[in-house]
Chain A
């Protein structure tokens, strides 16, 4: 990567498979999925669509943080940010920028009050915390404020784009330290919306499998502390990994479907490699977007085969563990990639039994055949907004 080297000095995660990196790692190593019948979101579809809920109700998340209020997206975000800042040894956030991706924002809380409010004309429901920016501001307030905050809302690539944007800010010299990622809770709005698109599986999802029938939604948050190498050295912070490249491309095909040739995915991955000055043969693992929908997995497989050929690196989707955490997925999966680099293992692709035609054979064996040095993390979104991040355990 030209110019400033961007390194990672902290990481935080919360998802259906646990609170924090330790629990997440254990679940990944033990092959324990967090997909289950819906327990916390109030919906008539609770037993119909298995989902990856964070295993705690909202009041207990508040208690965990000693807070009186706060919506679920905010609380999940705070938990992940707290872990990341702690690891990076940052106590004063006034010189740090916060970039958070979300699309649901405070919608889930609004849903709880909306019907009631409509019955009582004249009363105004509080929608102060409804919009996406409000959840970022509430997260920022918890830590006493940041130098700069921004919210990115590009659907399922939001968190990945927040990380990309943070790297650009560091490289352009606008800031030394950014905490970037995303947070998203389950809401009736997007559960029903995805159902209307008929892309939810009624069984646990099976990414890259010939019999895959859709995705399971999930929720959670994942954040990275990104920092210029100079700043990390000055603070004597331990460097956990490097963000050596990234790419964003538009698939320019359809509002919600991916192109048959996976053009956007192909271009995003290729850009990330070019920026890092690496070749396809240098990549040791790909954490796929791999939602489990027939369309995404076919398109992404095609993109990988076009870029890497038949000798493609180990690839897996971890969405059968966490569910598709939509806007947070890029953050959650970037943290999972970092764990893979640190612990030298390959997260496995659960529920795979039969390859699709022209498809990929995803990771079944956690033991890598060669050192895991450079990994790609994919996040693709409605609107054809495709992002790939290149994380490494060494600079290039």
Chain B
């Protein structure tokens, strides 16, 4: 398996294929969206988890040829720890008060952590596998093993996979990778852990 592209985002900054840039202050995903002049109004309807996962995938995939051609051979398999807790907390405020009880449909749809995989698939026309797994912590071994299994499906040739974690009061923590089935064994637990720790290989 071959690692093609990667992006690491944490409180210290952004590493896109090893190149470092500082994190814009405030909502970094929205700042980058505006900075890059992207036209995708649905972005503003998304919850925080979708926004950060979506924006990181935008940066990761920006250079890809024929990017928006619908395809079935790419999977999106993401992992995190806190599910959709950021949005769940916000949704709770709409149902908290019995005298002011207005469950928000716009927030309700994002109370599922797998919606982020769908948002990325919608943007890019991916009709392959989409899954979302919750783990106690970042686990390079499970990420590598799961992607290996996904590529055993002959219909799947590449996948967008990684860790997209956010929770109230905690800095965003992402590592998103584009991997394909070619034999260049740089997709392994050791490299993935290195990327997660240092942002570059």
Are chains A and B native binding partners rather than an unrelated pairing? Answer: yes
Q: Which A residues form the contact surface with B (CB < 8 A)?
A: 103, 131-133, 150-155, 161, 168-169, 171-172, 189, 192-193, 195-198, 248-256, 263-264, 267, 271, 381-385
- A153-B134, A193-B103, A250-B128 in contact; A383/B118 too (CB < 8 A)? yes
Q: Are A155 and B114 in contact (CB under 8 A)?
A: yes
Classify the interface of chain A: helix, strand, loop or mixed.
mixed
Q: Measured between alpha carbons, how far is A242 from B149 in the docked complex, in Å?
A: 21
For chain B, the bracket of interface size reads 35 or more
Q: Are B103 and A192 in contact (CB under 8 A)?
A: yes
Q: Measured between alpha carbons, how far is A154 from B75 in the docked complex, in Å?
A: 15
- A154-B132, A267-B72 in contact; A255/B109 too (CB < 8 A)? yes
Q: Which of A133, A172, A189, A249 contacts B134 (CB 8 A)?
A: A133
How many cross-chain pairs have Cβ atoms below 8 Å apart between A and B? 104
Q: B129 an interface residue at 8 Å Cβ cutoff? A: yes
What are 18 contact pairs spanning A and B, CB under 8 A?
A131-B134, A153-B83, A155-B112, A169-B149, A172-B149, A189-B111, A192-B103, A195-B103, A249-B128, A252-B122, A252-B125, A252-B127, A255-B119, A256-B109, A263-B127, A267-B72, A382-B109, A382-B118
Minimum CB distance partner of B142 in chain A:
A150
12 new A-B contacts at CB < 8 Å, known A252-B126, A255-B115: A131-B134, A168-B153, A197-B108, A198-B105, A249-B129, A250-B126, A251-B127, A252-B121, A252-B124, A383-B115, A384-B130, A385-B118
Chain A CB within 10 A, most for which of B114, B117, B155: B114
Q: Are B118 and A197 in contact (CB under 8 A)?
A: no
State the Cβ distance, B86 to closest chain A Cβ, in Å: 15
Q: Are A168 and B95 in contact (CB under 8 A)?
A: no
Q: Which B residues form the contact surface with A (CB < 8 A)?
A: 70, 72, 76, 83, 95, 103-105, 108-115, 117-119, 121-122, 124-134, 149, 152-153, 155
State the Cβ distance, A215 to closest chain B Cβ, in Å: 15
